[in-house]
Amino acid sequence: MQETYDVVVAGGGPSGLQFARELTDRTEFSVAVLEAHAELADNDKSTGGTFEQVIQGYDVPDSVVMADSSGVIFEGPSTSERLDIPGYVLDFPAFLEFLGEDIEANGGEVHTGVRVTEPVSERGSIAGVNCLRDGAERTVSADLVVDATGDSAVLTEQLGMFDRDSAQRGIGKEYEAVGEFERDEMLFRFDHFDAPGGYAWTFPAGDGVFKVGLCWIDDFYERHRTDASRQIDDYVERWAEHDDRWTVDSVRETHAGRVYSNNSINTRAIDGLLAVGDAVSSINPLFGEGIRPGMESAEMAADVAIDALRAGDTARSRLAAYERQWNDEKGGAWKLQRAVGELLYDFTATQQDRFVRAAGGMSPTQLDRLQRYELTIPDLLELYPFRLADLWKAPTLARHL
């Protein structure tokens, strides 16, 4: 590892790796990714459910796709609808390794086992990072630093760019199971019995392999749980074992993590530093999809970074073009989605069923908008199972808009 690079990326998840991939593919700038885990593949957070924008948009090879999914099933407590939204299930660790290999093939460096600890400032601008490798402290200097440390938000939090306290907090856990599984759709079940304040899922993952898990938003879990002694593992176990549509013979991996989602209109650029992915809460607040938005944020950031590096000027005045683009294209939509999420995960059982039925009645154009998170207000009104009793939620929701 050198002492100086043009660009240092902290964190080797999908967002940081895609940022480094864009840079190394399109320029000759020296780029190093610093990843805390011993291997990129040790990031065991994600289920890897994704859509064609990632597979086609970022040239993801078939070799890291475990399964194609022919559609999405939405289920409520007593209803089920199939939505014609095709998707893909990634082998997440293999996907990360593929991105890392691509970076190295283009002359970039990926250093694992390096824990970034703090930003280094010079004359008011970020000029590098301090990190730990094999217990030894190192300083690595760069013209541009990128925080892509996911929900650890190692640099953004210290720099006041990530407000953990105001974020909506969630948790997810899943098993990668071996057993009998006949479905070829991604199933999402909205039912407080299986996943209080969230949803449960099963995804196909190749012959005799599937992913079975659940997530919830902490506030709504508190409101909808019926047994405070049950932990998320108890729920995953019950969901895995007690639904007779599949049989778990063994669990070959577990994946888990926390999710922090704020209104996503964040500061994403300061002098000498950009932030991408979950380090600035790019994750979609409605369904907790983070790979696609994280990679999109990386691509947007890379376009601006390349111009800035070529101009020899990585001041915020230049880098903020990325922040403006994100806020215009996603930030406002994410604010609305957070409000919709707060309704969805607080629905009664009847509302969950009505929501699922309404989703099942959407036209192909509306489904395309749903998949892209571009639902219009009339779409949302059509989906929303209104109850007079929900009026008291209006002031809370207005805070997000």
Residue (155 or 353) nearer to ligand FAD, CB: 155
Question: Does residue 174 bind ligand FAD (CB under 6 A)?
Answer: yes
Q: Which stretch binds ligand FAD (CB under 6 A): 10-18, 137-145, 300-308, 350-358?
A: 10-18
Site for ligand FAD in 361-380 (CB under 6 A): none
| Helix and strand totals (H; E) in the chain | 13, 18
Q: Which of 100, 128, 204, 257 binds ligand FAD (CB under 6 A)?
A: 257
Q: Which stretch binds ligand FAD (CB under 6 A): 42-50, 187-195, 233-241, 242-250?
A: 42-50
Q: Which of 116, 126, 212, 339 binds ligand FAD (CB under 6 A)?
A: 116
Question: Does residue 48 bind ligand FAD (CB under 6 A)?
Answer: yes
Helix, strand, coil shares of the chain, percent, nearest 5, are: 40, 30, 30
CB of 392 to ligand FAD, least distance (A): 31
Query: Please, what is the Cα angle at 180 between 174 and 185, to 5 degrees?
Result: 65
Report the alpha-carbon distance of residue 128 to residue 5 in Å, rounded.
9
Question: Does residue 278 bind ligand FAD (CB under 6 A)?
Answer: yes
Residue (174 or 346) nearer to ligand FAD, CB: 174
The length of the chain is 401
Question: Does residue 36 bind ligand FAD (CB under 6 A)?
Answer: yes
Question: Does residue 93 bind ligand FAD (CB under 6 A)?
Answer: no
Question: Does residue 34 bind ligand FAD (CB under 6 A)?
Answer: yes
Report the alpha-carbon distance of residue 128 to residue 395 in Å, rounded.
43
Q: Which of 47, 69, 262, 366 binds ligand FAD (CB under 6 A)?
A: 47
Which phi and psi (to 5°) does residue 383 adopt?
Answer: -75, -30
Residue (46 or 168) nearer to ligand FAD, CB: 46
Amino acid identity at 281: S
Report the alpha-carbon distance of residue 11 to residue 313 in Å, rounded.
23
Please give the full DSSP string across 56-79, using - where no structure is assigned: TTTT--GGGEEEEE--EEEEETTE
Question: Does residue 268 bind ligand FAD (CB under 6 A)?
Answer: no
Cβ-based neighbour number of residue 245 at 10 Å: 10
Question: Does residue 289 bind ligand FAD (CB under 6 A)?
Answer: yes
Q: Strand pairing of 198-204 and 65-69?
A: unpaired
Question: Does residue 212 bind ligand FAD (CB under 6 A)?
Answer: no
Tokens 């089920």: give the residue. 80
Residue (44 or 307) nearer to ligand FAD, CB: 44
CB of 297 to ligand FAD, least distance (A): 8
Q: Which stretch binds ligand FAD (CB under 6 A): 23-31, 290-298, 366-374, 381-389?
A: 290-298
Query: Please, what is the Cα angle at 21 between 29 and 43, to 5 degrees?
Result: 125
Q: Which stretch binds ligand FAD (CB under 6 A): 144-152, 348-356, 359-367, 386-394?
A: 144-152
Contact 180, 140 (CB under 8 A): no
Report the alpha-carbon distance of residue 177 to residue 175 in Å, rounded.
6
Token pair in block for residue 290 = 């983070």
Contact 272, 181 (CB under 8 A): no
Site for ligand FAD in 293-322 (CB under 6 A): 294
CB of 295 to ligand FAD, least distance (A): 8
Residue (149 or 352) nearer to ligand FAD, CB: 149
* Distance from chain centroid for Cα 174: 15
Given the rule CB under 6 A, which residues bind ligand FAD?
10-16, 34-37, 43, 45-50, 115-116, 148-152, 154, 172-174, 213, 255-257, 259, 277-278, 283, 288-292, 294
